[in-house]
Homo-oligomer: A and B are copies of this chain.
Amino acid sequence: MSTISRFLDQAEHCQSLFENAIRKLEIPTCQVFFNQGVLTPVAFKEAGIPLTTKDTAAVNAAFPNSVAASQNQTLVADASNAKPATGKRVAVLFSGGPAAGGHNVIAGLFRILGSANALLGVKAGPKGLIQGDLFEISAANIDQIVNTGGFDFLGSDRTKIKSDAQFEGVRQTCIKHNLDAIVVIGGDDSNTNAAVLAEKLYSGVKADGSGVQVIGAPKTIDGDLQIGDLLPISFGFDTATKIYAEMVGNILQDTPSSRKYWHFIKIMGRAASHVALEVALQTKPAVTLISEEVAEKQLSLAEIVDSIAKTVIQRAAGDMNYGVVLIPEGLIEFIPEMTALLQDLNDKLAECKDELAGKTIAQQCELINGKLKPEHAKLMASLPDYIVDMLMAERDSHGNLQVSLIPTERLLIDMTAARVKALDASVKFHTLNHFFGYEGRCGAPTLFDAAYTYNLGLTVGSLILAGKTGFIASIKDLDQGGTPLALPLTGLLNIERRHGHDEMVIEKALVKTSSPAFQYFAQRRAAWAAGDCFCSPGPRQLWGPASRQMPLSVALNRDYASMEFEF
């Protein structure tokens, strides 16, 4: 067998040259976790920052145990914990979609718990917690997963723990595995889940009447779990945005090389446009749409299209028959007239259900168009056929359409092409479309995400060893050594109307048009549209001089002194 064949055999199961090298990479660690050079859990003190929302009174009433214990006070890392608990049995699970760095939360947690405590992995997310599918994590496991991407070590799922039977399942798991604490690595909904679990498991779980601690860690590539200085960003956002930004940067570099295509690129990130904004700051394309601005300015689809078409024409005049348009995944839902049309359409389709049965799509359209409000009928008439077909398609059991399935990038291409032609038929407009999404969730973490998550794991473990429950771990001052924090989950809960009833949930953070990151973008975008100003963060570097850059929107919004993190 040849040397190369042997190498290839050995590379199977995530053992490539790169994957083995990152396992040996030293992870930057906040100084507060060292006591005379030895990794040591920290104690916490109140930071003097109580957290409240518009619904604090109602939340306090619903979460009496948690609130009595935390007083909704933010905690900050003090010095080393002189008397950390021992003998704790801690379970950790992933919840929701994967994000880079999840494995390092576990690595940090394992190392700070040390040999005096045990860490158990929950397989396949919340479902596994209910079913009691746990195993003890070994040091050898940690050596394999450290600095690697994905959630594959444990798997994940999206089960929401809400029924009595589900809570009873979790309780049985706690008893069966003699758990003292549960760590939930997840996004806003998963941490809402963690808050509820912390309250339900506060006491009376074990034979001696004691409870089980619950601590959350802030995960999501979408960046919609962030709370000003207290939680600068969720983990996974930096890796996903750098992956997308590199791809967008590559395509931008292609545009003046080939000189003939407009690329319309839709980017994952659910409702909020944090991902699109960060990628825009990293790459500076001709056009970037920000959903929150569209909603705030009440822009119509025709206005958005007209603005893109004018940029196309402006650039063509400068011999640039090419460019890039960035589109946030959730755009459609932020265009007021589209949401109004969808609502009107949902109502009319429900009303006319019997009349519509057995008719062709064309006949159905004719019937429904006559019943829609005039402005909605006009908007429908302006849309391409394949979009109309989708809008007329079957609703889910709640009577809703899966808006995320609408191919926004194709819709904008087709409408922009028509608009360009109407404005100036001589302008060349050749297009390509892309969707960047799944390739950004499980890449190897950037050095920032690797370090951020490892230190989040150290913070989570320290909170458990300090006896805390109902908190989410965070780190602030990312440019100045990093300061571990813990935010009381109850202090983050709002009441929102979801699926027809009120729920207490963590609010998704949207892009603020008043934020420094958006303001910077708004000031420069005309220049980016007029010329080629683009740049690229390049492929994520784990070694060398370009490895420490953090998200630019975070550095701008927090007014950091440097865009390189410093732990």
Say whether A52 faces chain B, with CB atoms less than 8 Å apart.
no
Within 8 A of B (CB), among A129-186: 148-152, 155-157
On whether the beta carbons of A156 and B19 are closer than 8 Å, the reply is: no
User: Residue on B with the closest CB to A535?
Assistant: B16
Given contacts A4-B552, A156-B258, A556-B4, contact A263 B542 (CB under 8 A): no
The 9 closest A-B pairs by CB, nearest first: A543-B544, A18-B538, A150-B253, A151-B257, A253-B442, A539-B539, A254-B442, A18-B546, A152-B256
Q: A257-B151, A539-B444, A543-B544 are in contact. Are A12 and B284 (CB under 8 A)?
A: yes
**Complex contact A259–B124 (CB within 8 A):** yes
A8-B520, A150-B257, A256-B155 given as contacts; is B250 within 8 A of A535 (CB)?
A: no
> Does A330 make an interface contact (CB < 8 A)?
no
Q: Which of A14, A253, A440 has the most chain B CB within a 10 Å cutoff? A: A253
Are A251 and B533 in contact, with the CB atoms below 8 A?
A: no
**Inside 8 A of A72's CB, which chain B residues have their CB?**
none
A444 touches B18 (CB 8 A): no
**Which B residue's beta carbon lies closest to that of A433?**
B435
B residues near A282, Cβ cutoff 8 Å: 16
User: Is there a chain B Cβ closer than 8 Å to A97's Cβ?
Assistant: yes
9 examples of A-B residue contacts, CB within 8 angstroms: A3-B561, A18-B536, A18-B549, A19-B536, A149-B253, A249-B443, A444-B538, A539-B541, A541-B544
A247 at the B interface (CB under 8 A) = yes
Residues B533 and A22 in contact, CB atoms below 8 Å apart: no
Within 8 Å by CB of A14, from B94, B261, B536, lies B536
Which residues from 232 to 279 on chain A have a C-beta closer than 8 Å to any C-beta of chain B? Answer: 243, 246-247, 249-251, 253-259, 261, 263
Contact surface of A with B, Cβ cutoff 8 Å: 2-5, 7-9, 11-19, 21-22, 94, 97-98, 124, 148-152, 155-157, 243, 246-247, 249-251, 253-259, 261, 263, 281-282, 284, 432, 434, 438-444, 516, 520, 524, 532-547, 549, 552, 555-556, 559-564
Chain B residues with CB under 8 Å of A94's CB are 257
Residue contact A544 to B546, C-beta cutoff 8 Å:
no
A539 touches B443 (CB 8 A): yes
Q: Are B21 and A545 in contact (CB under 8 A)?
A: yes
Give the contacting residue for A555; candidates B4, B22, B549; CB below 8 A.
Answer: B4
Instruction: Report A524 CB to chain B, min CB distance, Å.
Output: 8
Contact across chains for B8 and A281 when beta carbons are under 8 A apart: yes
Chain B's nearest CB lies how many Å from the CB of A122?
A: 14
- Which residues from chain B contact A17 at a C-beta distance below 8 Å? 537, 545-546, 549, 563-564
